Amino acid sequence: MMALSEPFAETWLDTGDGHLLHLSQHGNPQGVPILFLHGGPGAGCTVQELQLFDLNHCHIILLDQRGAGESLPAGELKHNDLLSLLTDLERIRHWLQLEQWCLVGGSFGATLGLIYSGLCPRRVMAQLYWGLFIPSDTGRDWLYGSSGAAKRFPIDYHSFVNAAQPRGSGLPMLFEAYQIQLHGGSRARHCVEAWNRWERVLAQPWGVLTPVPYRRDEATAKIEHHYAINRYFDAYTLLYEGRQQWPTQTEIIQGTQDWVCPEHLLREFLAQGTAPHQLTWVSGGFHGLAEDKMLQAVQQGCRRMFANVTRNLRSSG
């Protein structure tokens, strides 16, 4: 008998512009459809994400976004931008013949999901996110500049900068140096490792860093850098303008010790106007789900979302 963690369907969808999107479906095909949105951008999905859900009652859709995970070509940057990612979500929903679905994701996956729900609110029954990345210049500078997270982790930041050996100081110089190295430079492998290590240190401070296959790390570094130097293709504007359209059942879970997407940036963004959401703080929680506090909070959030959706489906049926 097939284990629930194994996909009941797996395919690569051709986008028509050079990308093949890896899509695997898990759990109950007749269950509540839930699309999982990974972060990065470029990080890809893993089967560990399935631990968030009741696979007996949920239809889980794991999508590796363009160039990420098992999608092909790995790390491809051509036709890899925000609007393409958003179009892919609608393409997949149509392909699966789903009228509506739920969205779950973290970090940039949360950003992508909230933008999508602002553009297509009638397609989203409910959504749950954690570690929401605010794709503004301030959010980017906090993550990669010398005055944000760098102040809290100065030794690790020095290693991050030194790996690329920029010609001068400042974020533009640092991004230029990484551009050269990530795309055929003599220090390419060292820079791929340094880029990913910096973000893992922020996501899981003082923890044991889990090794990731180099192919995935390389794709993540190239795609994250690509989005960062392009200012996330104006994602902040779409996030801000669409916030009033978020579905009523929107929950954002945030750790108070999230150094990738810090508390003050989220508070500042949400303070700019009323948007439908429930905000759940996790005291001492980090950015990712590698530690128990955040994992348990997100698991509980998924159970709340599932209970609310099934209750609404019964009452409307």
What pLDDT score was predicted for residue 2?
A: 44
Q: For 100-119, what is the mean pLDDT?
A: 98
Residue 14 and residue 51: Cα distance in Å, rounded? 28
| pLDDT of residue 224 exceeding 50 | yes
pLDDT band at 270 (very low <50, low <70, confident <90, very high): very high
C-alpha 55/C-alpha 25 separation (Å) is 11
pLDDT at 314 over 70: yes
Which residues have a Cβ under 8 Å from the Cβ of 50 and sit 6 or more positions away?
4, 5, 26, 27, 60, 62
pLDDT band at residue 276, thresholds of 50, 70 and 90? confident
Q: What's the CA gap between 266 and 281, in Å, rounded? A: 11
Q: Render pLDDT for 45-64 as a digit per residue (tens, 0 to 9).
A: 999 999 999 999 999 999 99
Q: Give me the pLDDT at residue 211, please.
A: 80
Distance CA 139, CA 136 (A): 5
The pLDDT tens digits for 24-33 are 999 999 999 9
pLDDT at 60: 98
Query: The whole model's pTM is what?
Result: 0.96
Strands 124-130 and 101-106: parallel
Confidence class of residue 93 from pLDDT cuts 50, 70 and 90?
very high
For the chain, what percent of residues have pLDDT higher than 70? 98
Q: Quick one: pLDDT at residue 4?
A: 62
Q: In what order do the strands lie in the sheet with 278-282?
A: 9-14, 20-27, 58-64, 32-37, 101-106, 124-130, 250-255, 278-282
Q: Where are the beta strands (DSSP E) in 241-307?
A: 250-255, 278-282
For residue 227, is pLDDT > 90?
yes
Q: Copy the structure tokens of residue 191.
A: 């820079």
Write down the pLDDT at residue 5. 75
pLDDT at 228 over 90: yes
Confidence of residue 92 (pLDDT cuts 50, 70, 90): very high
Do 36 and 45 meet the contact criterion of CB atoms below 8 Å apart?
Answer: yes
CA 248 remoteness from chain centre:
21
The answer, yes or no, to whether residue 252 has pLDDT greater than 80, is yes
The per-residue pLDDT for 275 is 76
Strand partners for 24: 10, 62
252-259 mean pLDDT: 97
* Cα dihedral across residues 308, 309, 313, 314: positive or negative: negative
Q: Which helix (H) or strand (E) holds 26?
A: strand 20-27
Across the chain, mean pLDDT equals: 95
pLDDT at residue 3, rounded to an integer: 55
CA angle 102, 23, 111 (to 5 degrees): 45
- Tokens 């779409």 belong to 238
Query: pLDDT tens digit string along 124-172?
Result: 999 999 999 999 999 999 999 999 999 999 999 999 999 999 999 999 9
- The encoded tokens of residue 244 equal 């009033």
State yes or no: pLDDT of 1 exceeds 60.
Answer: no
